[in-house]
Amino acid sequence: MDVMNGRTVKGVNFLNLRDAGDPVELAARYALEGADELVFLDITATHEKRKTLAKLASSVAQAINIPFTVGGGVASVEDALVLLHSGADKVSVNSAAVRRPELISELAARFGSQCVVLAVDARQKENGWEVYLNGGRIATGIELFTWVGEAVDRGAGEILFTSMDHDGTRNGFANEALLEMSQRFTVPLIASGGAGKMEHFADAFIKGKADAALAAGIFHYGEVAIPDLKQYLFNQKIPVRIS
């Protein structure tokens, strides 16, 4: 769930954001429907130089009984500690880690790699994939797989890869990039950006070899129900937890 000013929002290609509801209410609903994990990303925290979501993390922790990750503006061990003490199971880092990669090493050393999720937003260019910062506002010139490799070496325990080109389009995930990432790195890989129908999830697992698939809009607006999706994946012989 992308969060801005305490509300869940959803856009297309990181633009044209619209309200999607209260994040705590949505979290409780998705937990009841059988979601395996939730991710909350404050998409303007870094851009607006704000600290993150301790109050939201505390409220979510009281409302659900499944693991959840919180990110947005995490720039220090202290920032992460506040979120974990507030009830989050993992913290996500993005822009601050690109600017100071040592942050990943510090977090992994303090909390363990299992708590550290690298969120990476990228666009496909003529010569490859380029990493972007601050909610997709700033191009870095950094090549995607080079950055992910360094992050994994420093202790990132999961990769949450969002294709900005696919985000919100409902045309499917960036499966070729996912496949390359899954072949290069051994940590769990979460596909994000582009889910529009149940078949797209199957493609992410079969073609992209992703370990998990994240979606927002199709769940927020009731276009796909989580129990139906899980049953579909189960029928496709894809390992999935059926509650």
Helix (H, G, I), strand (E, B) or coil at 47: coil
Query: pTM surpassing 0.85?
Result: yes
Regions of the chain where pLDDT drops below 70:
6, 9-20, 44-52, 135, 243
First to last CA, the chain: 22
And the tokens for 242? 């059926």
Domain ranges of the chain: 2-235
Q: What's the confidence (pLDDT) of residue 15? A: 47
Q: Annotated catalytic residue: which of 79, 89, 121, 203?
A: 121
Specify whether 36 is catalytic.
no
Q: What's the confidence (pLDDT) of residue 73? A: 82
Query: Measuring CA to CA, how many Å separate 227 from each of 32, 103, 119, 223, 232?
Result: 10, 37, 26, 12, 9
176-214 pLDDT per residue, tens: 999 999 999 999 999 999 999 999 999 999 999 999 999
Beta bridge partners of 68: 38
What topology is assigned to 2-235 in CATH? Answer: TIM Barrel (3.20.20)
Specify whether 2 is catalytic.
yes
